[in-house]
């Protein structure tokens, strides 16, 4: 009886492990998840980070391998929060301990890196990063 129970437990645990792999495919675990807020509805006010996450029906998602967006943003000059308009894009970057989070507004010129619960603002005055992203990924264009 104990042998049957043991084999049943092994089979059950194997099945559960296999099902978890189906939910989060292995190929996505090390990729940057990019979320775009789609504006399928109208909003009367400037929305922030909370509204971005509360309206998941507005999210379009792309996964990108070896996407060094955080390093590119950190090379930009720091700015103040007044240049950042809305949370239009979110980049979730896998890290060994916790995920790094980078936000961009619609222009892809104003950026936020969340670190230790604080927001560090950056601004790309010339728009080089925005131009490169839109040229290489239709996901960052208005109509894609």
What is the pLDDT, as a whole number, of residue 19?
A: 46
pLDDT score recorded for residue 2: 58
- Please indicate, yes or no, if residue 94 is contained in any of the structural domains: yes
User: Considering the domain boundaries, does residue 2 fall inside one?
Assistant: no
Residue 21 located in a structural domain: no
Q: Could you give the CA distance from residue 92 to residue 24 in angstroms, rounded to a whole number?
A: 15
Within a domain: 69 = yes
Structure confidence at residue 22 (pLDDT): 43
Q: What's the number of domains the chain is made of?
A: 1
Residue 4 maps to a domain? no
Residue 16 is assigned to a structural domain of this protein: no
Domain that holds residue 114: 28-140
Q: How confident is the model at residue 96 (pLDDT cuts 50, 70, 90)?
A: confident
In DSSP notation, 81-136 reads GGG-----EEEEE--SSS-EEEEE-TTSSEEEEEETTEEEEEE-TT-HHHHHHHHH
For the cut 90, the answer to whether the pLDDT of residue 34 exceeds it is: yes
Mean pLDDT of the chain: 83
The residue with greater pLDDT, 16 or 95, is 95
Provide the 3-class DSSP secondary structure of residue 63.
strand
Residue with tokens 């509204």, as numbered in its chain: 51
Q: Is position 12 within any domain?
A: no
Per-residue confidence (pLDDT) for residue 137, from 0 to 100: 92
């Amino acid at each position: 009886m104990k042998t049957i129970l043991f084999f049943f437990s092994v089979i059950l645990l194997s099945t559960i492990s296999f099902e978890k792999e189906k939910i989060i495919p292995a190929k996505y675990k090390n990729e940057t998840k990019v979320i775009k807020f789609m504006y399928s509805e109208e909003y009367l006010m400037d929305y922030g980070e909370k509204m971005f996450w509360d309206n998941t029906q507005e999210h379009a998602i792309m996964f990108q391998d070896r996407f060094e967006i955080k390093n590119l943003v950190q090379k930009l000059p720091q700015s103040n929060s007044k240049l950042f308009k809305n949370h239009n894009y979110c980049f979730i970057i896998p890290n060994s301990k916790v995920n790094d989070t980078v936000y961009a507004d619609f222009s892809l010129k104003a950026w936020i890196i969340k670190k230790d619960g604080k927001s560090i603002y950056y601004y790309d005055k010339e728009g080089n990063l925005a131009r490169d992203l839109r040229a290489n990924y239709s996901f960052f264009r208005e109509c894609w």
